[in-house]
Amino acid sequence: MFHRGISSVVAFAALASLAHADFKREPLADPGQECNMYDSEGWLTIFDGTAATAEKYWWISNSSHGDGGHWWVAEDPASVTAGKLKAGQKVLWSDQNPGGNGGLLYTMRKYKDVDFRVTYFPGWENDGGIFLRSNGKGQAWQVMLDYQPGGTMGGIWPEGLNGPSQDYYSLASETKVDARLAKWNMADWPKIWDADGYNFMQTRVINNPGLITAFMGDSLHPITNYQTTAQSVITETGYIGLQIHAGTGDWKGGPNKYSKMQVRELEPGTQKPICKPTVAIGAQQAKSGKSLQLTWQSGGAGNLMVTGAVASAFRLSLCDLHGRAIATRSGLSGPVSESFAGLEKGVYFVELATAAGVSTFKAVRF
């Protein structure tokens, strides 16, 4: 849960004038598919904690719920202190400042069949959502992020459309849920949901009429599987959006925060990534810095080998998608040969700190 202290209030006041500084107010520049920037599993990062990605991939709409809401990019010191984020990492913040003012943050690009995943930390008692195939006017299929008593995370709401809503559970508290038509064991909620940190959700929309699926934490915990109807189709392609619900009664908690967002465009009918992986399985990559030369090699059984040479004493860290160190090694100048075992399939970051500074590189474990 986010607790707003006196220092936080001062910080928010100072940032209020930057509410829209990192975002345009209309979709002026579709960045395209950018296949050369996709990772080994076909994912493109459209927010990584930098203002540059905010400006390039997102715009604010005042089509519904207010004049757009309050969005800004800044550090999250409380999460760093709690060990949830890496020092210096920035995240996307959102709230209603001034109170009751909502809105939508949309992608610059429209998508048809697409996966979208987000790592986020909502404020308890807030009403938000992920909009899929939105026409930019506030009409969309909403994956609900209603983080409040009686709310649901991952249910479906036809925003401005015809059709029924769907949710499989309701929140009794941040750490407890009440079952309705459970798709997974309700007792697993504390295992897949961190009430005091950042959480992961992946959504997918395919076909027309659209089939919407979502899971929380991992694929073992599906949240919804929703089939839209021909009568409720608004558009074959549309924006992905993040919502701040208008009204003081729908936003009683602290800000919502997003640390990372990615998309993966899919081929209609096959659900295969349109942009093929840019790194082949088992491929080696080399990166050079001021005083280092590293090569990493993915192997079987969850192993990642990092080799190279440095010109001074070093600290080598393997970090997850949140920037949190999974393992740290240190040594003197000379050859580097470190193996990290027991890794799950996914993307990791190798951070190497020397007297010349810190260098961070993306590594892939297949």
* 204-228 tens-digit pLDDT: 999 999 999 998 887 778 888 899 9
Other CB atoms within 10 Å distance of the CB of residue 26: 11
Determine the structural domain holding residue 248 and report its residue range. 6-265
Mean predicted confidence (pLDDT) in 333-350: 78
pLDDT digits (tens, 9 = 90+) for 166-204: 988 899 999 999 877 667 788 888 888 999 999 999 999
Mean predicted confidence (pLDDT) in 255-276: 92
Whether 73 and 199 map to the same domain: the answer is yes
- Give residue 11's pLDDT band: very low, low, confident or very high (50, 70, 90): very low
Domain annotation covers residue 40: yes
pTM for the predicted model, two decimal places? 0.74
Whether 253 and 318 map to the same domain: the answer is no
Whether 259 and 288 map to the same domain: the answer is no
Pairwise CA distance, residues 345 & 151, whole Å: 32
Give the model's pLDDT for residue 364. Answer: 60
Q: How many CA atoms lie within 13 A of 293 on its CB side?
A: 4
**Under 8 Å CB-to-CB from 38, ≥6 apart: which residues?**
44, 264, 273, 275, 276, 277, 278
Pairwise CA distance, residues 355 & 330, whole Å: 13
More confident residue, 185 or 288: 185
- Give residue 281's pLDDT band: very low, low, confident or very high (50, 70, 90): very low
pLDDT at 107 over 70: yes
SS3 at position 192: helix
pLDDT at 140 over 90: yes
Contacts 24+ apart (CB under 8 A), 179-187: 183/222, 183/223, 183/224, 183/225, 184/220, 184/221, 184/222
Tokens 């849960």, residue located: 1
Tokens 């006196």, residue located: 6
pLDDT digits (tens, 9 = 90+) for 42-55: 889 999 999 999 99
Q: How far is CA 152 from CA 146, 148, 173, 252, in A?
A: 5, 8, 11, 16
Give the model's pLDDT for residue 353. Answer: 86
Domain annotation covers residue 272: no
pLDDT at 7 over 50: no
Mean predicted confidence (pLDDT) in 324-334: 86
Whether 297 and 331 map to the same domain: the answer is yes
Q: What is the CATH number of the domain that holds 238?
A: 2.60.120.560
